[in-house]
């Protein structure tokens, strides 16, 4: 039986997949005081995993995001390729590539190792939770927990129920997420792409439409988005912004602007070409922008520093009225 009343810090958590997100999720869990069992599903994932995680922990320590020392955190971590070590975990987070067949194989190995009431969660970006939970025995304990990168320095988290998820597990994870310093959203319905991805992809569709029609450039679009949305979104979200700036104006703008927005269903031509050309963005210095090696490094450092700043800024400006209880109501 999964005892949902156990002190959160005493819960042993498993993470399967120690790639980009798996590593930073492990760090977030260690920073929150958990014992963590990390599974590397393939050899290349295992090689260097301890160093990757230690490097993240050092960044966290420098940013004063750790309560314990780096070595105390590492003492709570066990890395293995053997799923058997997950046997005592109350919660296992799957964090492998976005491929249903591979996730399915991984779930088989997780369910063979854990108890029937261990909560199993996927960090999938866009595969339906209702589909994934069918791949697991006792599917009522399956849930989506969608983190943002880097997991230890972001407040975002979407917790999503599949059609047959038992809500008691969703509430348990929702409460636990506050111990991980998250501001979680609980989605009782399985929405394809959840909330944040649906919003961002609507924005991407529109901006690619404008660029492909020669109406603007990526540089100008990035500048406008950074200095408009970037100046208020972390405090207000979408709807308080409307309340603050004028309801009637917004209604008028909806009427005038909606007919002009893109409804395209195809992948934008620019994206099709860039993927076909094997551009991998900052990883191989060729993406929607080009980078020198130094520029790529500077962007990575700037992103890490900015994440630390905004993680703190969000805590300095919480919503004046707590939204936590109403989200659970």
Binding residues for ligand NAD, rule: CB under 6 A, are 17-22, 41-42, 45, 95-98, 102, 106, 123-125, 146-147, 149
CB 17 within 8 A of CB 23: no
Strand order of the β-sheet with 12-16 is: 77-80, 35-39, 12-16, 91-94, 119-122, 142-147, 156-161, 183-187
CB of 157 to ligand NAD, least distance (A): 10
- Kindly provide the b/e burial profile for residues 28-66, where b requires at least 16 CB atoms within 10 angstroms of the residue's own CB: bbbbbbbbbbbbbbeeebbeebeebbeebbebbeebebb
Position of minimal CB gap to ligand NAD: 19
CB of 27 to ligand NAD, least distance (A): 13
Q: Of 26 and 89, which CB lies nearer to ligand NAD in the complex structure?
A: 26
CB of 211 to ligand NAD, least distance (A): 23
Q: Of 42 and 315, which CB lies nearer to ligand NAD in the complex structure?
A: 42
List Cα–Cα distances, 100 to 92, 139, 312, in angstroms: 17, 16, 36
Q: Of 14 and 33, which CB lies nearer to ligand NAD in the complex structure?
A: 14
CB of 251 to ligand NAD, least distance (A): 34
| CA end-to-end span of the chain | 26
At 248, list the tokens: 């009637």
List Cα–Cα distances, 299 to 2, 55, 58, 243, 283, in angstroms: 43, 18, 19, 35, 11
Q: Of 42 and 261, which CB lies nearer to ligand NAD in the complex structure?
A: 42
CB of 150 to ligand NAD, least distance (A): 9
CB of 16 to ligand NAD, least distance (A): 8
Q: Of 17 and 139, which CB lies nearer to ligand NAD in the complex structure?
A: 17
Q: Of 127 and 236, which CB lies nearer to ligand NAD in the complex structure?
A: 127
């Amino acid at each position: 039986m999964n005892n949902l009343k156990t002190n959160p810090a005493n819960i042993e958590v498993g993470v399967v997949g120690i790639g980009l997100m798996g590593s930073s999720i492990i760090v977030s869990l260690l920073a929150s005081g958990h014992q963590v069992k990390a599974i590397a599903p393939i050899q290349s994932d295992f090689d260097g995993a301890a160093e990757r995680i230690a490097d993240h922990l050092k960044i966290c320590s420098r940013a004063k995001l750790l309560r314990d020392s780096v070595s105390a955190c590492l003492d709570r971590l066990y890395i293995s390729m053997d799923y058997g070590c997950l046997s005592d975990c109350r919660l296992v987070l799957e964090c492998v590539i976005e491929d249903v067949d591979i996730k399915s194989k991984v779930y088989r190995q997780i369910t063979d190792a854990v108890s029937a009431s261990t909560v199993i969660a996927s960090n999938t970006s866009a595969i339906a939770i209702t589909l994934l939970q069918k791949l697991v025995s006792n599917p009522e304990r399956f849930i989506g927990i969608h983190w943002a990168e880097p997991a230890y320095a972001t407040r975002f988290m979407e917790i999503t129920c599949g059609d047959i998820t038992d809500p008691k597990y969703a509430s348990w994870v929702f409460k636990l997420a506050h111990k991980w310093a998250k501001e979680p959203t609980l989605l009782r319905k399985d929405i394809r792409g959840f909330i944040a991805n649906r919003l961002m992809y609507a924005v991407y569709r529109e901006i690619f439409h404008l660029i492909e029609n020669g109406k603007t450039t990526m540089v100008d679009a990035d500048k406008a988005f950074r200095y408009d949305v970037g100046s208020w979104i972390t405090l207000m979200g979408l709807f308080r912004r409307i309340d603050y700036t004028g309801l009637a104006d917004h209604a008028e703008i909806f009427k005038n602007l909606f007919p002009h927005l893109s409804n395209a269903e195809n992948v934008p031509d620019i994206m099709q070409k860039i993927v076909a050309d094997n551009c991998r963005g900052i990883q191989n210095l060729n993406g929607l922008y080009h980078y020198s090696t130094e520029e790529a490094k500077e962007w990575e450092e700037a992103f890490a520093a900015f994440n630390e700043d905004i993680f703190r800024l969000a805590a300095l400006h919480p919503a004046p009225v707590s939204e936590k209880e109403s989200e659970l109501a």
